Amino acid sequence: MNKLRVRLNQVSDIVSFVAIANKCECDVDARCGSIVVDAKSLMGVMSMALCKEVDILFHGDACEEILQKMTPYAA
């Protein structure tokens, strides 16, 4: 399992981030404290992530290409 901490400051960041997450073949979760949502769910990520640091958990082998595309959001 790989982990990446991100910060999504604008709604457009969340939309772009979820689009990238949906390209990953493995399951991807977003965790903020004790709350965990599917990172491929726009509504789930929008409900918790704006202006907060969020841990992104990749369950399986995350593609290096996907991780590189997510690095602009790294906290």
13-34 pLDDT, tens digit each = 999 999 999 998 889 999 998 9
- Give residue 50's pLDDT: 73
Q: Say which CATH number the domain at 58 has.
A: 3.30.1340.10
Domain containing 45 equals 2-73
Average per-residue pLDDT for the chain: 88
In tens, the pLDDT along 3-16 reads 899 999 889 999 99
The pTM for the full model equals 0.86
Cα–Cα distance between 13 and 26 in angstroms, integer?
Answer: 21
The total number of structural domains in the chain stands at 1
Q: How far is CA 51 from the centre of its chain?
A: 13
3-state secondary structure 39-74: CCCHHHHHCCCECCEEEEEEECCCCHHHHHHHHHHE
